[in-house]
Chains A and B, each alone.
Chain A
Amino acid sequence: MTSSLLWIAPLVPTAIGLCMLLVRNPRLLGVLDVGGSTVVLGLALAIASQVDAAGPVSAAGILRADELSVVFLVLVGLLAVATSVATVGWMRQELAQGEMRADRLRYYYALVHGFIATMLVTVLADNLGVLWIAMEGTTITSAVLVGFHGHKHGLEAAWKYIIVTTIGISFGLFGTVLVYGAATHAQGGVQAGAMNWSTIVALSHSLDPGIVRIGFIFVMVGYGTKAGLAPVHMWLPDAHSQAPTPVSALLSGALIKCALLGILRFHTIARGACGPAFSEGLLLLFGLISVVVATPFILVQHDLKRLLGYHSVEHVGIIALGLGFGGRIGVFGALLHVINHGVTKALTFLIAGDAINRYGTRDMRKMRGYLGLAPWGGTLLLMGAFSLAGAPPFSIFISELMVLRAGIGAGHYVAVAIFLVMMIVIFAGLIHHVGQVAFGVADQTADRGREARWPLLGMLLLAVVMVLLGVCMPAGIDRVLTRATEIVLG
């Protein structure tokens, strides 16, 4: 029963995406979009509760849901629902402004669902080859979405995105091949499921450390490119800022986390084969570089969506740092940060889209008094910004604190010191930027229209999760995260 759910989960958005190609009515497309995403979230929650109750489920040795994948699965489902609800109002605006042509709507919606389907396969894949194929699938579908408007900037960003991440994850494929080679060598021949993560992890202690080490470096660089880890993040601020707003939210909130799951899968294999020090050291290095590299760009940024893009680089870095510091607290904190950052970043991207629409510019120096124009949106923007900057009582504060605690516990004092300094600088920079947007008096030219209901509903859904996770930790989430931590630590 549950194993068939694993197949149904990616098939639903695929089927809906294909149906959408036949539909021309914008209203019906919107209904299909929201309905499809809701079914995806429902399926994700159903799989999650099954896994929570009865442990990992496998489907034909190709797909598998364990506590680790469930974390990412529910995140993808949640963001799919929130963005599709927000899309209803966003799309009306785009059509009214002539940004989106009515006859091309169906391609947009179909691609979004194709994108969601490939992300679902990525998080549910057990076979490492399937993981790679789905990951490249996310690149292809989302690259078309990034350039969907057909503007010069959008196409430039889309090109950079597809070319850099395709070459990047072809490194991931190389790493996969090497690990597969090590696994078949250890088994003394090709056996059933030789490419499956669950099989390889079980025999990770007998794998040749030399080849796994090279394989992990390739995977780290490859999937790291896709995750937006510096120094291979160059495409991220472009793609995430130029994409249509709901797609930005999905890219920053969900997709880069899917790539992190890919790294995590290989991290567990490498931990077994070469001991924890090697892959943790590499994650620590990439994480620290990401945090440091993102900081100056956040400070001097004037483009609101680019600011959020660079901020994603920083937060992916924090997740990598948590995994690199290791230990139960570090990994738990990193996984919690995956959820927290995904939810918060999607929220802020949706608000940023609304703000950019109202002012007709992305330049934060020309945005003033957003709180007056859109009281709800402005409040959510301030909450989101404080959350992103790591202020209590929001959820990100807790996960960042755990990452810090893990770093101190593991004795990485230098890394912790650098991390802390960067956090303070970023806090000041982000609050400065967002404060300027939120307060003051808006230009006469700014759009003072009432806030649209649907985007607000999508944002509120995310905001509720963000606030709730800050003040309490539901027992179910705690249980799943604890077990996911155990999976990572072997």
Chain B
Amino acid sequence: MSPEMATRLIDDLGALLLVTMLIILASGQLFRAIYAVAAQAVFLGIAGAVLAAATGNVDLWVIAGITIVIKAVALPWLLIWVVKRIQMCREIEPVIPISVTLAFAAAIVMLSFHLSASLGPVRQAVTGNALPVGIALTLLGVLVMASRKKALTQMVGLFASENGIFFVAMAVSQGMPLIIEIGVILDVVLGALVMGIMVLRVRSTVDTDIADLETLKG
């Protein structure tokens, strides 16, 4: 695959990542948000495969595979399992109206592209528009977490935010060293497991959403 072709594909995939992110932001239903974050991880995996083909770096194939298995299958499955287990209300209650959230999102995307356009020659170290897309995804993930009250939506925002980082990490030079990527993914999985267990424990002991607990103040 020629570098130009790879750049174009990465740009296209970056656009798809942003679209899935907007679906997460706009969704009023928890399942839709979970499926969107899974789809995002699939695009991320495809981006990894494209970069692997373009750079000839075998490690990236492995990373693409792990991404799809863990982030597109295992973690969404974990989320859905927890949702079914606690039989919670599946509507998402936004703290601020979704239209306002989307306006914020547009501002963040523009800011990210502006920021990265101000960078000098070092942009060549990152394929295509991966850098602004990555920055935007990371910040939008935080926006999801800040604008939603439910624990599981916060986890979705966290995963989406991490997808943005993985996107840049793949597109930078020839990707991060394989062993580091595996360590990072291991941390993500362990963290998700611990969070899932906490949600279940609170649900079983006090029957509320863990993110709704607000007794510690001042």
- Mark A residues whose CB is within 8 Å of B: 127, 129-130, 132-133, 136-137, 139-140, 143-144, 147, 150, 152-153, 155-160, 162-163, 166-167, 170-171, 173-174, 177-178, 180-182, 184-185, 189-190, 194-195, 208, 210-211, 214, 237-238, 241-242, 297, 300-301, 306
Instruction: Tell me which residues across on chain A come within 8 A of B202, comparing CB atoms.
Output: 152, 155-156, 159
The stretch of B3-11, B24-32, B204-212 that contacts the partner chain:
B204-212
Contact A301 B191 (CB under 8 A): no
Q: How far is the CB of B150 from chain A (nearest CB, A)?
A: 12
Return the contact of A155 from the options B158, B180, B191, B213 (Cβ within 8 A). B213
Excluding A159-B210, A181-B126, A185-B124, 9 further A-B contacts by CB distance (< 8 Å) are A130-B180, A136-B184, A152-B205, A159-B198, A170-B161, A178-B168, A178-B172, A185-B122, A194-B173
Q: Known contacts A140-B190, A147-B198, A182-B125; decide if A129 and B165 are in contact (CB<8 Å).
A: no
Judge whether B215 and A153 touch: CB under 8 Å.
Answer: yes
Stretch at the interface among B64-72, B94-102, B113-121: B113-121
- Which A residue sits closest to B185, measured CB to CB? A133
**CB-CB under 8 A for A177 and B218, given A208-B121, A210-B118:** no
B73, CB-defined interface residue at 8 Å: no
Contact partners of B14 in chain A: CB under 8 A: none
- 10 A-B pairs with least C-beta separation: A129-B180, A185-B125, A208-B122, A156-B213, A184-B173, A181-B172, A133-B183, A136-B187, A238-B216, A159-B210
Q: Residue of A at shortest CB range from B162?
A: A170
Give A312 to B207 CA distance when docked, in angstroms.
33
Minimum CB distance partner of A151 in chain B:
B205
Report the interface size for chain B: residues with CB under 8 A from the other chain: 53
Q: Given contacts A132-B184, A147-B198, A208-B119, is CB(A167)–CB(B161) below 8 Å?
A: yes
Given contacts A152-B215, A170-B138, are A210 and B173 in contact (CB under 8 A)?
no
Q: How far is the CA of A127 from the CA of B151 in the complex (A)?
A: 33
Chain B minimum-CB-distance residue to A172: B165
- Whether B176 is near chain A, meaning CB under 8 Å from some CB there, is yes
Indicate which residue in A132, A143, A301 contacts B194 across the interface (CB closer than 8 Å). Answer: A143
The B interface is mostly helix, strand or loop, or mixed, namely: helix
Q: Is there an interface contact between B168 and A297, defined as CB atoms closer than 8 Å?
A: no
Residues of A within 8 A of B126 (CB): 181
What is the distance, in angstroms, from B10's C-beta to the closest C-beta of chain A? 15
Q: How far is the CA of A316 from the CA of B98 in the complex (A)?
A: 37
Q: How far is the CB of B215 from chain A (nearest CB, A)?
A: 6
Most chain B CB neighbours (cut-off 10 Å) among A143, A163, A177, A242: A177
Q: Are A140 and B194 in contact (CB under 8 A)?
A: yes
Decide: A173 and B165 in contact? CB cutoff 8 A. yes
A210 touches B120 (CB 8 A): yes
Find chain B residues with CB under 8 A from A208 CB: 119-122
Q: Is B125 within 8 A of A181, CB to CB?
A: yes
| Distance from A490 Cβ to chain B, minimum over Cβ atoms (Å) | 21
Task: Determine if B141 is an interface residue (Cβ-Cβ < 8 Å).
Answer: yes
Q: B212: shortest Cβ distance to chain A, in Å?
A: 9
- Determine which of A139, A162, A185, A195 lies in contact with B177 in the assembled complex, contact meaning CB atoms within 8 Å: A195
* A163-B145 CB under 8 A given contacts A171-B138, A177-B176: yes
* Chain B residues within 8 Å of A127, by CB: 180
B216 touches A170 (CB 8 A): no
| Chain B nearest Cβ from A475, distance in angstroms | 39
Compute how far the CA of A150 lies from the CA of B200 in the bound complex, rounded to whole angstroms: 12
For A173, give the chain B residue with the smallest CB separation. Answer: B165
Bound Cα distance from A140 to B145, whole angstroms: 19
Smallest distance from the beta carbon of A5 to chain B beta carbons, Å?
22
Q: Is the pair B218, A180 in contact by a Cβ cutoff of 8 Å?
A: no
Q: Is B147 in contact with chain A by the CB < 8 A criterion?
A: no
Contacts of B165 in A (CB 8 A): 170, 173-174, 177
